[in-house]
Structure 1
Amino acid sequence: MTKTRSIGFIATALLTAGVTTAVCFGDALSLTSARSAPIGAPSRPTDVLQNAKPWLTEVPGGPQSLRGKVVVVNFWTYSCINSLRALPYLRAWQERYGDKGLVVVGVHAPEFQFEHDAAKVRLATSQLAVRYPNLQDNDYAVWQDFGNEGWPGFYFIDAKGRVRGYRIGEGNYADSEQLIRKLLAEAGHDPSDVPVTPITGTGIEAQADWSNLGSPEAYVGYAKAVNFRSPGGIRKDASARYASAASLPLNGWDLAGAWTVGREFTTLDESLGALRFRFHARDAHLVIGGAPDGRPVRFRVTIDGAAPGASHGTDVDADGWGEVREDRLYQLVRQAGVIRDRTVTIEFSRPGVRAYSFTFG
């Protein structure tokens, strides 16, 4: 089913070769689009992949073996909820059609600085069961060569090495699978014995409740922060003590305790700091980075001041307790029952933890 939504946020990636604007589609208030190829798409995309590096998960037989194969290239980044919700489809396509001549290739183009770390990306791909080939694109060289425009981006390449389809954002997965089957048939492979059964994500990868989604991604670093409500506003790049606002409007947020608000993330400077957000969605997530000493950081989530109970997310229990171990996206809330405006509060037990952005689903 095709969904049409308004464009959500714009993330700016600073590159060694210049500045590229990366747009995330399919988020809380975002757009899904499809066309044959973007402006600037390469005429020989498999050549781009053959020359790219480093490969975090190698292509069996090497990148040169992609010649003559049907290839799906997915631009993603592991802390992005939009990218995560696409993974069940990519895994299923590789499993269904891998012996029919299909290769799924992930191009990991990081949004946040911690996603540049190859060891962290390898850990994330292992935890997410991403077993198809993956390329690390820290400087966005492959992104630019492909003319990609956002996360998640999908390129469908036929056995002759031509881009036959391009989709950006979540959705249109049934149409995408039909295109894969068409390209395989053109290449002399018969996919008719592969049943097209429904693909369903679970846990954090479950599709968003689009009809109840009224909150866009919200950054906690000052470069792209909006709707901050603590009295006195943000004090940039300096430790400051913040207090909760008297009330929060929808999509407003605040801090309590001693924090340093930086360009990309906000760091807790003392124990017992809190972060609040008023949202309207089934799911609420927060991208969190661990403390510098590498030890786990306990946190507690409440919804409108109470333990979440049945509305807890996959990374917290019914009492609201969770633990930051890796730098990644954490699901805090999955509302049970009627969806309405709620305030989520996250209280951290000790300093050093970093908060990057809220996302919703």
Structure 2
Amino acid sequence: GLLWAPCAGPILGLLLTGAALQGANLATSLLLLAYAGGAATSLAVALLLGGKVFAAMKRSLGAGEWLRKGLGAAMLAGVAAIAMGWDTGILARLSTASTAGLEQVLVGRLAGGAATPEGAMQAQDHPGGAMMAAAGAMSAPALPVQGQLPPLSGAVQWLNSPPLSAEALKGKVVLVDFWTYSCINCLRSLSYVKAWAEKYRDQGLVVIGVHAPEFAFERDVGNVTKAVKDLGIDYPVAIDNDYRIWRAFDNQYWPAHYFADAQGRIRYHHFGEGEYAESERVIQQLLREAGNAQVTGGLIQAEAQGVQQAADMNEVRSPETYVGYQRSENFVPQASLAPDTVAAYDVPAQLALNDWGLRGQWKVGAESARSTAPGGALVYRFHARDLHLVLGPGVDGKPVRFKVLIDGQAPGADHGVDVAPDGSGQVTEQRLYQLVRQAGDVAEHTFSIEFLEPGVRAYAFTFG
């Protein structure tokens, strides 16, 4: 914002999103003030210089007529450039050239040598990853210090361990994994985190899972305890229902991995799935820095099955979709949505890709939708190998039977792990259910799930 650039619009969107997520505080206020200062300064400079240039041109030309003709010719040239597509090529080469160097210098000075701040896009293509891949294990690059490991106090309960503190962990390499048990991205990265914990436990690595809930049912300690057992997690898990550890890290992602050295300094982080090889090399490097000369080499090959199997991202064209009205998108017909009211719904005969709707009697709340009569159904037009749906039984906890169809037919070989080939299944607990896994070529289909008893709650669709 202070430097100003043609991409100032997305920057403002990012700042506003951060302010909405974090609330009004000093950091967000200063960021917005910096943005406003950059905008005002840039516009003021443009106005002053433009006025002087215009006045000078008028004096030198001696007549406004020639000036108007020149501006008209320039505008026509611009129209021709846009029509021919020349403008995009020029902007692609020049739009960031004038600010990139200044930005890097400014970040370097303000951060005092710390790592360049990263967003979601950089998490997918981390510059350190390219450096590590190029350098190899023989000459790993130095990892910058990104700050001190924040306090781990504030958890409402710890599983598999007494409460741990950042101070008590000095001398150990620490991996902090923010996750929640119905998050498909967390589940798919979990097989790697578990493998690292097992491989490097006796070499000085401590893995801590920080369970920060997304949905209300994930605040139930009993639900989390059962999920930890079912998933085979044996390392310490802090239940962060009040998000105190989440805020201490200033975290915004599931999953998020933070790597701290034996001195209690964060040296690397990664948001989302992927880059597992790079993350494991970081663990090995930090263990060597801690004085362990016998660090096990090589990289683990996680054998993930079922829901935890890696997504086929080349085929995923459907986004995570929330059923509750607070964050729902692409619901059709939108005009029929009746928040917090029992209403009868129907689905249009034709759905475009990623359109979805309800059939039967439902009460749509902010976080989820609850069926209030037998025969309630959800329908989604999707394109992905896997389709998942976060579901929970009624308040009485009794199982709710369902029937899944793909393009009106039983799924057969394309059934998910929670569905039989004939499409039958049951909602027995509050968790993520895999309902479709296409066995052959991935294509666009219409998915439907009908619940034979009332009371089920539906939270979110995810794809893989």
TM-score (norm 1): 0.87
Change (3 A) 1:169 1:56: same
Query: Are 2:365 and 1:262 aligned?
Result: yes
Match 1:52 to one of 154, 157, 179? 154
Change (3 A) 1:219 1:172: same
Residue 278 of structure 1 corresponds to which residue in structure 2?
A: 381
State which structure, 1 or 2, has the greater radius of gyration over its C-alpha atoms. 2
Deviations 1:234-271 (A, max 9, x none): 01110000112111110000111000111110000001
Deviations 1:158-200 (A, max 9, x none): 0000000011011100000000000001111234445423223
Match 2:348 to one of 240, 245, 252? 245
Q: How does 1:1-361 map to 2 (within 5 A)?
A: 32=124, 34=126, 43-45=148-150, 48-49=151-152, 51-59=153-161, 62-63=164-165, 65-230=168-333, 232-361=335-464
SS at the partner of 1:75? strand
Which residue type is aligned with residue 335 of structure 1?
Q
CA distance in 2, matches of 1:128, 1:357: 21
CA distance in 1, matches of 2:426, 2:18: 27
Larger strand share, 1 or 2: 1
Which residue type is aligned with residue 328 of structure 2?
A
Q: Is the 8 A contact 2:195 2:300 kept in 1?
A: no
Change (3 A) 1:134 1:15: farther
Please say which of residues 228-237 and 271-280 is displaced more in the overlay. Answer: 228-237
Shift of 1:15: 8.8
CA distance in 2, matches of 1:130, 1:108: 12
CA distance in 2, matches of 1:11, 1:306: 44
Unaligned runs of 5+ in 2: 1-13, 29-118, 129-145
SS at the partner of 2:402? strand
CA distance in 2, matches of 1:322, 1:11: 40
Query: How many residue pairs are counted as aligned between the two chains?
Result: 341
Deviations 1:19-46 (A, max 9, x none): xx9xxx99xx99625478xxxx75243x
TM-score (norm 2): 0.69
SS at the partner of 2:301? coil
Deviations 1:53-83 (A, max 9, x none): 2333143695454221100001111111001
Deviations 1:138-159 (A, max 9, x none): 1211111111121110000000
SS at the partner of 2:329? coil
CA distance in 1, matches of 2:195, 2:317: 30
Which residue type is aligned with residue 120 of structure 1?
N
Please say which of residues 64-73 and 313-322 is displaced more in the overlay. Answer: 64-73
Higher relative contact order (CA 8 A, sep 6+): 1
Change (3 A) 1:314 1:17: farther
Which residue type is aligned with residue 179 of structure 1?
V
CA distance in 2, matches of 1:291, 1:167: 37
Please say which of residues 225-234 and 133-142 is displaced more in the overlay. Answer: 225-234
Identity of aligned residues (%): 48
Q: Is the 8 A contact 1:278 1:342 kept in 2?
A: yes
Change (3 A) 1:161 1:231: closer
Q: Is the 8 A contact 2:155 2:245 kept in 1?
A: no
SS at the partner of 1:151? coil
Unaligned runs of 5+ in 1: 1-6
Shift of 1:293: 0.8
CA distance in 2, matches of 1:342, 1:256: 18
Please say which of residues 140-149 and 90-99 is displaced more in the overlay. Answer: 140-149
Larger helix share, 1 or 2: 2
SS at the partner of 1:178? helix
Residue 6 of structure 2 corresponds to which residue in structure 1?
A: none
Which residue type is aligned with residue 155 of structure 2?
K
Residue 3 of structure 1 corresponds to which residue in structure 2?
A: none
SS at the partner of 1:150? coil
Q: Is the 8 A contact 1:223 1:264 kept in 2?
A: yes
Please say which of residues 61-70 and 109-118 is displaced more in the overlay. Answer: 61-70
CA distance in 1, matches of 2:393, 2:20: 23
